[in-house]
Amino acid sequence: MLMTLPWRNRTPELAEVEPVRGAARAAAVAPNEQDNDWYWRPLVLLTLLVVFVGIATSAGRDLWRWLDQPVAEVRIAGAVRHLDKQLIAQDLAASIDSTLLDLDLQRLRDRVIQEPWVHDATISRQWPPALRVNVIEEVPVARWGDKGLLNHQGDIFWPELKPEYVSLPKLSGPAHETVKIMEQFHDLTPMFAANGLKVAGLTLEPRGAWTIDLDNGIRVVAGREQLIPRLKRFLAVYRLTLAARAEEIEQIDIRYPNGVAVRWRAVETNENAG
């Protein structure tokens, strides 16, 4: 069986096509067309870039106007016990003198932390236009002298003292030694507590001497040298001979190498009373 393949007998179409007249001329013109493209394409690209920049600038200007509006609200966040959030917001609102993006947040923060009960504060912008203020309130752990309070870091702050703080231990001494005094207080507290006594006050004198006030009204003059050995000796003597007469004792000086000196409270007689 003989099968004829049609494409085997067909003459290629390219052989039947006659050369087109002017082809050489067309080929000669093509480089000129490419030269023309070299001029107008960069111009189009530059025009598109200018249009894009203009649109972006206009959009950015509109976005800035939307973001930079007058502050409509001041929000105070954070757990507080002594601070009045409404008063803080009102005071802060009164000091706002520009739109939201132009505000000096550091200046506003400095204003907030001037309040004695504010330990720290952070201020951030929010939209719709508002300020958010996160406040951290001071937590007093001791009194400082007669008018101040100490926080857990040993920083002094000076709020209006309330009767509820009378029960806090009273620490005193040079202002730059607050951390040392607090550490000493924490070290001595368990030592006295083990003997049924509570440290109500601790004073560091300018020359380095320590004075301890107990909650039963006794003042212990400890000095500045060999503090812990002296206190151990005092506590031993106190347990054996002085505890039973604690109400009669005003002061105990433990700076002696082999004993203690006791100052007794003055006893008011009937004649003096009359």
DSSP code of 72? Answer: -
pTM of whole model > 0.75? no
Q: Any idea how long the chain is? A: 274
Q: CA-to-CA distance for 89 and 78, rounded, in angstroms?
A: 13
What is the C-alpha radius of gyration for the chain, rounded to an integer number of angstroms? 44
Cis omega (within 30 of 0) for bond into 128: yes
Q: Give a three-class secondary structure readout of 171-194.
A: EECCHHHHHHHHHHHHHHHHHHHC
Question: 198 vs 78, 92, 178, 186, 195, CA distance in Å?
Answer: 34, 43, 20, 12, 9
SS3 88: helix
How many CB atoms within 10 Å of residue 118? 21
In degrees and rounded to multiples of 5, residue 175 shows phi and psi of -60, -30
In degrees and rounded to multiples of 5, residue 145 shows phi and psi of 65, -145
User: 26-42 b/e with 16+ CB inside 10 Å = b?
Assistant: eeeeeeeeeeeeeeeee
> Can you give the pLDDT of all 274 residues of the chain as single tens digits?
333 334 444 444 444 445 545 444 544 445 555 556 666 677 667 776 766 676 667 656 555 555 668 888 999 999 999 999 999 999 999 999 888 888 899 999 999 999 999 999 999 999 888 999 999 999 999 999 999 999 989 999 999 888 889 899 999 999 999 999 999 999 999 999 999 999 999 999 999 999 999 999 999 999 999 999 999 999 999 999 999 999 999 999 999 988 899 999 987 655 554 4
CA distance from start to end of the chain: 157
